[in-house]
Amino acid sequence: MKRLLAVVALLLFAAFANAQETYSVTLGGTTTNRASLVGQVDLGRVQVNSDVCTAKALAATCTQAQACVAYGVAGGAACTAADALAAEARIYPDSTGGRESFVANQVVRFRLSMYLTEQLRREADAYKSWCVAENQTARNTVCALVNAINPAVPATGCNPCGQ
């Protein structure tokens, strides 16, 4: 009995040790809509693969092994997907795993910086709107807050809006 409990405990620990963060995207709607979305992902996947291949004068449909050799990736024709990705030589296969990897490494990674840029733009727009709407008394409140951090900025009468 003690042996069985020990085995169960080890299995439970192994399950936690192998845990990883995963994401799911619901493609709702009809089967046609799902197929259309997969087709759109595949369109991007094929374009990225083609760009990787043709950048090194390979056929647009080159293999991962050919791309790794052309890019000089460690391991040559037997390089890992991680090594190929690090060398920007990743070829995403036509499979569920290939599409998932494409979405994670191409779609999400490049969009994140766009989200940050958009958030900064929105915050700047909100600040500009605040500057137009507020009076010097409200601006003095900002001056006092900045003065608490940086005494070189006057506690009143500063111009946080640059007007």
List per-residue pLDDT tens for the chain, 163 residues long. Answer: 444 444 444 444 444 444 444 545 555 555 555 566 677 788 889 999 999 999 999 999 999 999 999 999 999 999 999 999 999 999 999 998 999 999 988 888 777 777 788 888 888 888 888 888 888 888 888 888 888 888 888 888 887 777 5
In Å, what is the CA distance from 75 to each residue of 69, 82, 89? 8, 11, 13
Question: What distance in Å separates the CA atoms of residue 43 and residue 116, rounded to the nearest whole number?
Answer: 26
Is 23 contained in some domain?
no
Residue burial 104-134, b: 16+ Cβ < 10 Å; e: rest: eebeeeeeeeeeeeeeeeeeeeeeeeebeee
Is 8 contained in some domain?
no
pTM passes above 0.85: no
Grouping H, G, I as helix, E, B as strand and the rest as coil, residue 147 is helix
Q: What is the pLDDT of residue 122?
A: 86
Q: Which residue type occupies 104?
A: A
Q: What is the pLDDT of residue 70?
A: 97
Residues 86, 136 share a domain = no
Q: What is the pLDDT of residue 29?
A: 54
Q: What is the pLDDT of residue 77?
A: 96
Q: What is the pLDDT of residue 87?
A: 95
Is 141 contained in some domain?
yes
Q: What is the pLDDT of residue 120?
A: 85
Q: Which domain holds residue 65?
A: 33-94
Q: What is the pLDDT of residue 7?
A: 41
Cα torsion 103, 105, 111, 116: sign: positive
Q: How many CB atoms lie under 10 A from the CB of residue 89? A: 23
Is 60 contained in some domain?
yes
Is 6 contained in some domain?
no
Determine the length of the chain.
163
Is 13 contained in some domain?
no
Is 153 contained in some domain?
yes
Is 14 contained in some domain?
no
Tell me how many degrees the CA angle 116-121-123 measures, rounded to the nearest 5: 95
Q: What is the pLDDT of residue 161?
A: 79
Total domains present in the chain:
2
Contacts 24+ apart (CB under 8 A), 91-95: 91/49, 91/52, 91/53, 91/62, 91/63, 91/64, 91/67, 92/45, 92/48, 92/49, 93/64, 94/42, 94/45
